[in-house]
Amino acid sequence: MKYKRILLKLSGEALMGDKSFGFDTGRLAEYAKEIKTAVETGVELGIVIGGGNIFRGLKGASEGMDRVQADHMGMLATVINGLALQSSLESLGVETRLLSAIEMDKICEPFIRRRAIRHLEKGRVVIFAAGTGNPYFTTDTGATLRAIEIQADVILKGTRVDGIYDSDPEKNSTATKYDTISFQEVFKKGLNVMDLTAFTLSNENKLPIVVFDMNKPGNLLSLVKGNNVGTLVTQ
């Protein structure tokens, strides 16, 4: 097994499936099955989910809301998504813990680094919610921060495309996919992998990132087993 401990980053929009808002229960069930299969190999798995299927703080701010309040609303959206994924995982018998950067002890545990690591060591899937707990930071940055804190071997960024291309493959049919690319090349070419804060944090801490298609069954398991899937960003 190539990776012992993984941080899986999922977008909130991915949970919508074909819907325009909220959850697609079928998509949640599919993700839960993929995660269960991966965890059964013995890998330790942490997860961060965005909140864009419910509310995006930056969009709220652009429409006249106070940025700090809008970002707090976005953080709460990630808690809702975390609860939804936790429910799907537990329905399959996967032991799961939801940890939030904003304390709300009636529904989830507060994020405490040592507690999070202990849960992972016990084989529990740990879902990290509420981003960093601070406004002005994205869930990409929250995912990178948590990955560094729990000493993950890699960030797996599950998207709807199968890797990083030199241009948008949904708009350009001749776009070329990278199997591997360095952090410096991504900076130089101006490619969109994560927001700049998250990407710089990964680079400074020598934390590799794999961008892959989470919607293709078996991709997560294949990555966990050490196969080449998607695009690897490394030093």
Confidence of residue 167 (pLDDT cuts 50, 70, 90): confident
Structure tokens at 124: 């529990």
Choose which CATH entry (3.30.70.580, 3.40.50.300, 3.50.50.60, 3.40.1160.10) describes domain 5-234. Answer: 3.40.1160.10
E strand or H helix at 232, and its extent?
strand 231-234
Mean pLDDT calculated for residue range 80-94:
97
* Residue 17 clears pLDDT 90, i.e. is over it: no
Per-residue b or e along 65-93, where b marks 16 or more CB atoms closer than 10 Å to that residue's CB: eeeeebbbbbbbbbbbbbebbbebbeeee
Mean pLDDT calculated for residue range 206-220:
96
Q: What is the pLDDT of residues 49-82, one digit of tens each?
A: 999 999 987 787 888 899 999 999 999 999 999 9
Tell me the average pLDDT of the chain.
Answer: 94
Q: How many other C-beta atoms can be found within 10 angstroms of the C-beta atom of residue 204?
A: 11
Percentage of residues of the chain with pLDDT beyond 90:
84
* Residue 95 clears pLDDT 80, i.e. is over it: yes
Mean pLDDT calculated for residue range 98-127:
97
Mean pLDDT calculated for residue range 204-217:
96
Mean pLDDT calculated for residue range 188-205:
94
Q: Are 13 and 52 in contact (CB under 8 A)?
A: yes
